[in-house]
Chain A
Amino acid sequence: MTLIIKHARIVNAAGEAAGLKDILIEGGKITRVSQGLANDDARVIDAEGKVVMPGFIDLHVHLREPGREDKETIATGCQAAARGGFTSIFAMPNTTPAIDTAQVVQFVLDQAKKVGLVNVYPVGAITKNRDGAQLTEMMDLRRAGCLAVTDDGHAVMNAGLMRRALEYARMAKLLVMQHCQDPNLSGAGVMNEGALSTRLGLKGDPVVSEAVIVARDIELAHYLKTPVHFMHVSAARSVDLIRRAKKEGIPVTAEAAPHHFSLTEESVKGFDTATKVSPPLRSAADVAAVKAGLKDGTLDCIATDHAPHTHEDKEVDFDAAPFGLIGMETAFGLVVKELVLTGILTLAQAVDKLSAAPARIVGLKDKGEIAEGKDADIVIVDMDKEWQVRREDMASKSRNSPFIGWNLKGRVVTTICGGKVVYSA
């Protein structure tokens, strides 16, 4: 199908294109970016007054299928992605069964293909059944279509095994992504440890639990000259460690989640289980450090850690509730509210964090940019549109968002994936 986006104000990571352009899309690719394009057979989308950006890429999404289809399915997860402007999403392996064999990778890819909305990249597990004991067959995972591996939900605690994982993953051309949390330090913690957790009588998960794993893995990345990607970095100390490592040229990359730059631990005060997430919401100083890390490039990209849970699972006491919140449908609005309108990032830099940088990190060469020859994964946003986050509007199967009721500015109006319109407001 042929598609023309007319009058596009194109913002790539490199900056905003001069003047309004037309974008011709043929065979799922961007074939021309120019002015005055016309094609009689083409469907035309007029982007007048809107901003056109490369589709967002989320390195951190929980789709729950297979295993917990009551929380999310690949279909509803893809719908939520499309509504949030994401055209490529990386599905975490903590499913049942875990994504630890080529067969499960194939299952996820088959389901995603059936849904036919956005690109789904299954992320393999580092260890079989994510239990931290034995490496997965990573060559097989790579051949089946994985680009990265992680035991997300757990850190690989055995440093010797982490070393082997990095060495083996390098051969398999897989990026190793680490969930940084030492379970011995986090214990039964349910919120950030500090004066507030003490006052609320909730068990604390200290920042040092994250920082010790970041520090250890920086040393492994340095020693082995092999990349490590740090997921959902939440603590100021971790940001500092990563900043210093990058200065030394150690090959580490990192992501930040929207809730870690939009909310502080103060949100936990009302015991709303939608605010229970791992790593936990941190102090104002940590939030400031995450923002500073995004600004100076210490934190490369933004990933949502979209983690759906049913109402029943979350409607329990704070200790008993599972960790996680949904994030794909509110991510862009929060980036605009907390980072762009506050002057921390330019819109082009926001595009880098949401699209170009994640593409770079996992090696998706044809994505993350609007240019001739690139994949036609495109998001059109209305930067002036004010909207309210409402439960009933969510495309995700779950509703566990602490942002319900928030007023946001900047709304995805059209999402195009592989040249096909997969969402329009």
Chain B
Amino acid sequence: MTEWSHRHLLDLDHVTRSEIELVIETARSFKEVSAREVKKVPALRGKTVALLFFEASTRTRVSFELAAKRLSADTLSIAANVSSVTKGETVLDTALNIEAMNVDAMVVRHQASGVPQMLAQGTKTVIINAGDGCRAHPTQALLDIFTMVDRLGPLDGKKVAIVGDILHSRVARSNITALISMGAHVTVCGPGTLIPVGIDKMGVEATTDISHALDGADVVMALRMQKERQQELYLPSITEYVKEFCITAERLKKARPNALVMHPGPTNRGVEIAADVADGAQSVILEQVTNGIAVRMAVLYLLLGRKAE
């Protein structure tokens, strides 16, 4: 039986395939909890999980909060960008103050890459990365993979197309790392300005040709396209992006007939994904949200739960 070997969850760089499978397996058993009348198990009773969100987030924060609560942990939520950080307190100082209140884990989101790693080095608490800069969003990738495996079975040889702003996407980076561990073939696609230098070194194919990217894909993942990219000179216009890259029903025909349509949310309907596709039969976007809680329960349990035993 595989053991979980990491004290923190900072990224998926060193998380092995069998560890990812362990998360999936653990999440599968927790998924059932959320469907019960009484949505609670005592696995983390007496534990405290602090949610430190230095960058605004609703979905991920709520998902972690529910995950912790359904495991009977106590939670405290700090939207740090509006509290002490504006008073000049450093990230590390904020974390040390939270740690001094004897929390068992800190779930951290920050706009700068590397902050969870910095906190893992600077504190003694278990750190779970809930998204740092453009670097990593490990639980998102794990829930995406959970969803894919749930629907498609083993991912060996499966073709996953990730479309959109790859340059700024931590979701893309974590998915690439984990999908390759799982044996999938990954193609990233977007405008040339939003495909980062050297992405091929991560073991993916990069293309600006959307039909090539979608051709025969088992999974099509659209990424959020932020409107600011136009002002930042990455795009001539959002309109042209939509014309060239929006996942429409017509474009989706290139993919396999039952290809999954995914999106990490929140979606810009009509920008990176057409509304009828987002709501269509192939879309698993809401399932991703549901699975997110089970996967985050699994992560919290693997990092905190078994130590108590």
Mark A residues whose CB is within 8 Å of B. 193-204, 206, 270-271, 312, 315-320
Rank and list the top 8 A-B pairs by shortest CB-CB distance, nearest first: A201-B135, A195-B198, A271-B114, A317-B112, A201-B134, A195-B201, A201-B113, A319-B112
Question: Cα distance A194–B121 when bound, in Å?
Answer: 26
> Which residues B85-116 have CB closer than 8 A to chain A?
90-92, 110-115
Choice from A195, A312, A317, A319 contacting B197 with Cβ under 8 Å = A195
User: Contact at A202–B135, with CB atoms within 8 Å?
Assistant: yes
Q: Given A195-B197, A197-B197, is A202 in contact with B90 using a C-beta cutoff of 8 Å?
A: no
Output the least CB separation between A268 and chain B (Å). 9
* Total residues of chain B contacting the partner, CB 8 A: 26
User: Contact at B117–A271, with CB atoms within 8 Å?
Assistant: yes
Task: Tell whether B249 is near chain A: CB-to-CB under 8 Å.
Answer: no
User: Contact at A193–B197, with CB atoms within 8 Å?
Assistant: yes
Question: Cα distance A202–B132 when bound, in Å?
Answer: 10
Q: List 30 A-B contacts (CB under 8 A).
A: A195-B198, A195-B200, A195-B201, A196-B198, A198-B196, A198-B198, A199-B198, A201-B113, A201-B132, A201-B133, A201-B135, A201-B170, A201-B173, A202-B113, A202-B114, A202-B133, A202-B134, A202-B135, A203-B134, A206-B197, A270-B117, A270-B121, A315-B90, A315-B92, A316-B90, A317-B112, A317-B115, A318-B112, A319-B112, A319-B133
User: Contact at A198–B199, with CB atoms within 8 Å?
Assistant: yes
Choice from A193, A312, A315, A319 contacting B113 with Cβ under 8 Å = A319
User: Contact at B118–A271, with CB atoms within 8 Å?
Assistant: yes
Residues in chain A near residue B136, CB distance under 8 A = 201
Interface residues of A: mostly helix, strand, loop or mixed? loop
Task: Tell whether B202 is near chain A: CB-to-CB under 8 Å.
Answer: yes
Question: Cα distance A270–B135 when bound, in Å?
Answer: 13
Kindly report which residue of chain B lies nearest to residue A203, judged by CB atoms.
B134
Kindly report which residue of chain A lies nearest to residue B135, judged by CB atoms.
A201
Known: A198-B201, A201-B136, A202-B133. 10 other contacts (CB 8 A): A194-B197, A194-B198, A196-B198, A198-B196, A199-B173, A199-B201, A201-B133, A315-B92, A318-B118, A319-B112
Question: Cα distance A271–B10 when bound, in Å?
Answer: 13
User: Contact at A318–B113, with CB atoms within 8 Å?
Assistant: yes
Question: Cα distance A211–B225 when bound, in Å?
Answer: 32
User: Contact at B113–A200, with CB atoms within 8 Å?
Assistant: yes
Task: Tell me which of A197, A201, A204, A316 has the highest count of chain B C-beta atoms within 10 A of its own C-beta.
Answer: A201
> Which residues B115-133 have CB closer than 8 A to chain A?
115, 117-118, 121, 132-133
Residues in chain A near residue B134, CB distance under 8 A = 201-203
Kindly report which residue of chain B lies nearest to residue A312, judged by CB atoms.
B90
User: Contact at B114–A317, with CB atoms within 8 Å?
Assistant: yes
Question: Cα distance A193–B201 when bound, in Å?
Answer: 13
Kindly report which residue of chain B lies nearest to residue A184, judged by CB atoms.
B233
User: Contact at B133–A198, with CB atoms within 8 Å?
Assistant: no
Residues in chain B near residue A203, CB distance under 8 A = 134
Output the least CB separation between A314 and chain B (Å). 10
Residues in chain B near residue A315, CB distance under 8 A = 90, 92
Kindly report which residue of chain A lies nearest to residue B169, judged by CB atoms.
A201
Output the least CB separation between A283 and chain B (Å). 10
Q: Given A200-B114, A201-B133, is A316 in contact with B198 using a C-beta cutoff of 8 Å?
A: no
The proximity string for B residues 159-179 relative to A, scoring 1 for CB distances below 8 Å and 0 otherwise, is 000000000001001000000
Question: Cα distance A332–B136 when bound, in Å?
Answer: 39
Residues in chain A near residue B199, CB distance under 8 A = 195, 198
Question: Cα distance A254–B229 when bound, in Å?
Answer: 37
Output the least CB separation between B269 and chain A (Å). 27
Question: Cα distance A200–B11 when bound, in Å?
Answer: 10
User: Contact at A320–B112, with CB atoms within 8 Å?
Assistant: yes
Task: Tell me which of B134, B136, B196, B200 has the highest count of chain A C-beta atoms within 10 A of its own C-beta.
Answer: B196
Question: Cα distance A72–B198 when bound, in Å?
Answer: 39
Residues in chain B near residue A195, CB distance under 8 A = 197-202
Question: Cα distance A383–B7 when bound, in Å?
Answer: 44
Question: Cα distance A325–B302 when bound, in Å?
Answer: 40
Question: Cα distance A134–B173 when bound, in Å?
Answer: 45
Residues in chain A near residue B117, CB distance under 8 A = 270-271
Question: Cα distance A196–B199 when bound, in Å?
Answer: 9
Choice from B111, B112, B202 contacting A198 with Cβ under 8 Å = B202
Q: Given A198-B202, A201-B135, A202-B113, is A316 in contact with B197 using a C-beta cutoff of 8 Å?
A: no
Choice from A193, A199, A206, A317 contacting B91 with Cβ under 8 Å = A317
Output the least CB separation between B52 and chain A (Å). 13
Residues in chain A near residue B173, CB distance under 8 A = 198-199, 201
Residues in chain A near residue B90, CB distance under 8 A = 312, 315-316
Kindly report which residue of chain B lies nearest to residue A320, judged by CB atoms.
B112
User: Contact at A317–B118, with CB atoms within 8 Å?
Assistant: yes
The proximity string for B residues 131-149 relative to A, scoring 1 for CB distances below 8 Å and 0 otherwise, is 0111110000000000000
Residues in chain A near residue B112, CB distance under 8 A = 317-320
Kindly report which residue of chain B lies nearest to residue A206, judged by CB atoms.
B197
Question: Cα distance A320–B198 when bound, in Å?
Answer: 24
